């Protein structure tokens, strides 16, 4: 999805169109997540990201398309950064705050999230089907639940101990990544530690 297309979605998002926001999210969420990479050892990036996306939805009606483009995404990167710094401040990590605030804002376009691709989805689906039963159950439980319930509930439903559920989930992802590498698809990621 291009920045221009994301901007085209802005009026619909501002008018409260959830489907337009979902479309925007599919492209913007990975970019905002990666912008939090340098805070990853200090803050829970998932929590900061979700808070950011909720705030973007709330303020979208006040955001205007500008010549720089990608107005909502750029705002999202700023909100995420500010929230992360607030959390770091609360943790009284003043030295780290100084170091991080002195760094330039990340380039939101540098991230390259996976775009929907039916062929790639079919490859992943095949790898998913090849998973051993219990890891597949753990992974599917989280996928289908969409983050609505804690792992304790999902584990209980699968009649697994929480620790077993978590181990199975980790194995499932490892297996999937290895299976995909075998198919020539590398989705692995390793961030750089902050210096």
| Site for another protein, rule CB under 8 A | 18, 21-23, 25-27, 29-30, 33-34, 36-37, 40-51, 53-54, 57, 113-117, 120-121, 124-125, 128, 142-143, 145-151, 162-163, 166-167, 169-170, 173, 176-177, 187-191, 193
Query: In angstroms, what is the minimal distance from the CB of 65 to another protein?
Result: 22
64 vs 149, which CB is nearer to another protein? 149
- Rg of the Cα atoms in the chain: 19
Residue whose CB is less far from another protein, 53 or 85: 53
Judge whether 128 and 137 are in contact, CB under 8 Å: no
Provide the minimum distance between the beta carbon of 36 and another protein in the complex, in angstroms, as a whole number: 8
Minimum CB distance to another protein smaller for 40 or for 65: 40
Nearest to another protein of 44, 64 (CB atom): 44
8 Å CB contact between 67 and 112:
no
Q: Which two tokens stand for residue 44?
A: 């829970």
The CB-of-41 to another protein minimum distance in angstroms stands at: 4
Q: Give the residue among 84, 144, 74, 63 at the shortest CA–CA distance from 108.
A: 74
What distance in Å separates the CA atoms of residue 37 and residue 97, rounded to the nearest whole number? 15
Minimum separation from the CB atom of position 105 to another protein (A)? 19
Q: Is 55 helix (H, G, I), strand (E, B) or coil?
A: helix
DSSP symbol at 127? H
């Amino acid at each position: 999805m291009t920045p221009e297309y994301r901007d085209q979605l802005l009026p619909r998002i501002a008018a409260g169109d959830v489907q337009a926001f979902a479309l925007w999210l599919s492209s913007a969420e990975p970019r905002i997540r990666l912008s939090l990479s340098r805070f990853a050892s200090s803050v829970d990036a998932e929590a900061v990201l979700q808070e950011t996306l909720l705030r973007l939805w709330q303020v979208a009606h006040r955001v205007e398309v500008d010549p720089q483009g990608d107005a909502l995404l750029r705002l999202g990167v700023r909100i995420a950064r500010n929230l992360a710094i607030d959390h770091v401040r609360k943790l009284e990590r003043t030295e780290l705050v100084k170091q991080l605030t002195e760094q330039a804002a990340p380039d939101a376009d540098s991230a390259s999230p996976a775009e929907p691709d039916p062929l790639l989805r079919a490859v992943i689906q095949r790898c998913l089907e090849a998973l051993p039963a219990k890891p597949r159950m753990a992974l599917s439980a989280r996928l289908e639940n969409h983050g609505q319930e804690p792992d304790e509930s999902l584990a209980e439903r699968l009649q697994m101990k929480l620790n077993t559920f978590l181990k199975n989930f980790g194995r499932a992802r490892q297996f999937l990544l290895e299976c995909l590498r075998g198919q020539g698809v590398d989705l692995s990621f390793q961030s750089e530690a902050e210096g």
